[in-house]
Structure 1
Amino acid sequence: MIDHYSADLLGKLVNRVDSIIIGKRKEIELAVVCMLQGGHILLEDVPGVGKTLLVRTLAACLGGTFGRIQFTSDLMPSDVTGVSVYRAQTGQFEFRPGPVMAHIVLADEINRAAPRTQSALLEAMEERKVTVDGVTHPLPKPFLLLATQNPLDYEGTYRLPEAQLDRFLMRISLGYPQPEQEVEMLGRMQEGTPVEDIRPVLLLEEMAQIQRQVRKVLVDERIKQYLVGIAHASRRHPQLALGISPRGTLAWMGAAQAMAYYKGRSYVIPDDAKAVAAAVLAHRLMLKPEAKLTGLHGEDIVEDLLSQGKVPVFQQQRGASS
C-alpha cells in the first residue's frame, strides 16, 4: 500500500520547486523520482538555464545540511573530502570535514575540475563514505549529490570518467524556456531570487523513510524480462560501442520503482520504465564514432531500443494502492 501522506508531500515538493523553476515540471519530477531512489543527478546543459537554481531549490525544500563545491581547474581532492589537521595541543590529527560531508551536496560545474579531483567523489557516490589518510568517515544519511555540467565543447571543461558517469542515476537537461515562460520568469525574479524564503516541505527523515518504501514496490517478473531484453539488445546495437551494463539495468529498475511510487502505485508498469528510460540510460551508452558523426545522441538510441522492445501485457494489475 502507498502512504498517501507521503504522496501528498511529494506533490507539494514538486509544486514548490515548480513555482521557482518555471516550465520544467517534467524535469523536476524526474529529479524528485531520482532522489526517491537515493540516486545522484547530473544536470547537463548550457550556462544560464537554471541548473544551479534547481539544485538550490530542491535543497531548500528538503532541509538538512547543504554543501556546495565550486569545481575549478585548481580544485584539489582534499577540498572535496576534507583534510586531517595536526593539533599541537593534543598531539593528534583532527579530521576537518569537506563540503561533501553533508546531506545534500551541489557539485557545481563538475567537469571543470581535473580528473583526479573528479575521482575523489567516486567513493562518496558509490559507498557513501570518504577515506582521508587511511581513515574512513561515513557520510550523513541520506546523502544526495546533485551535479551540474556544461557541454564538453565549452572551454575549460574535462570529460567525466566513465566510471563516475555511471554512478549518476539520471542525467537531466533543462533546455531553454518558452518565450511566455521566460517573460513569467522575469516577473517573478524582478525583486530577487525567492529561494531564500523557501521553508522545508519534506524533512530528510521523511525522505529516508520514503526511500525504504520505494524499494518494496513490486516489480513483476515480466517487467524484469522486459528491462533485461532491452539491455541485451543495446549490447548488440550496430551503432553502439558499449551498451547497457547490468548496473545500468539495476538502476533502470530502481528508477521505475520510484516513478511508480511517485504516481501512487505499489507496482511497476511498463510506462514507468519508459518514463525514466532516457534519463537513466542515455548517458551510460557509448556511441561508435561514425554514429556520432551522423548527429545521433544516446537519447535517440534509447528511443530506438524502446520502439523495438516487446512490451509485456498484463490482464490485471496486482498490488494496486487504494
Structure 2
Amino acid sequence: MFYQGTQLPPPKGNDSPDGVRVSPRVRLSDGRYLAYREKGVPKDQAKHSIIIVHGFGSSKDMNFLAPQELIDELGIYILQYDRAGYGESDPNPKRSLKSEALDIEELVDQLQIGSKFYVIGVSMGSYATWSCLKYIPNRIAGVAMIAPVINYQWPSFPGSLIKEDYRMKLIKWTVLLAKYFPRLLQWWVTQKWLPSNSVIEKNPAFFNKRDIDILETIPGFPMLSKDRLREQVVFDTLRDDWMVAFGKWEFDPMKLSNPFPQNTGSAHIWQGYEDKVVPSQIQRFVTEKLPWIQYHEVPDGGHLIVHYSGLCEAILKALLLGEQNLSYRPRSEVVVS
C-alpha cells in the first residue's frame, strides 16, 4: 500500500531552534489550516502562477528541479502546499475528490494569486488535478500530471486492458482492508518482520534502474517508516488519501470535456515508459480517450521521473510555451481501444 503513487521529499530542514519547521498557513472556511511555501518571482510580478500538488507520503517540501534562470525568465511564481493531513496542514475528516480541488481554490483566493493558475500534480497528487479539471475548470490555465496514478474502477477501462494487471488486485485488497479493517492494516504494515523501507526502495518490483539510482542519492520515504506509521494521525492521513485515490470516484476522468476549447490552455501527462507503479500502456489508453491531453513519455523512465535531470524544465516549457521536446515523444505502439 505504502509505495504506490509516491515521490521523494528533500531532507528535513531546521527552521526553528527545536528543529520543527514553521511555515505560513491560511485558515480555510471550515476552520482547517493549510501550510504552504512560495518560490520563484513575487506573485504580484508573476506572468505565470503554478500550484504544485505533492503525492503520497510527501509534502510541500518536495523538490521540483526547475532552473532558476527559467523561472526568472518566464516570470514564474510557484506555490507548494501540504495537502490535508500532511506536513503542517490539518487533517480533513471529510476528504474527498472535490475537497482537494476546493482546498486549492480557497488557498489561491486567500493568497490573492489571481483568477487563473496552472496546476502540476505529481503521482497521487494527480487525483487533485483531475478534480480541478472537473470542479473548477474555469480557474485553470493549464495542467500537467507527472506519473499520475490511475484508478482501476474508472468505468471507461475495458476489461481486456486491466483484468490481468496484478496491481489491480493488490489495490483492491488494500482498499478493502483500509475501509473495513484499518487497525489490522496498520498492525500489518508496522510489523518488524516485514522488509524495511530501504529494502523496498531498492526493490526492482517497484522501481527501475534510474529510479533506484535516484534513491541512492536522495532521502527516501520518511513518512512511510514503520515508526511514523505507528502514529495514528500519520496512518489515518495516508489511509484516507489512499481511499480517495483508489476508491469509487464521483466522475470518470475519461468522460471529461476539453476545458480549453479555444486553445487558451493545455493539459499534459508525463509518464515513464518503464514505470512499474503505473503501467505506460494504461496511461496511453487514458490519453487516447482524451485527445486534448498531450502525452509525453520518458523512454527509460520509471515512476520517479520528476527527479530526473532536465524533466521539470521540459514540463514547464511544454506547459507555458507549448514547446515540444522530441526526447519525450512516445514510441509507436498499438493502444487497446
Query: What TM-score range do you get, normalising by the shorter chain?
Result: under 0.3
TM-score by length of 2: 0.25
Higher relative contact order (CA 8 A, sep 6+): 1
Mark the structure with the bigger radius of gyration.
Answer: 1
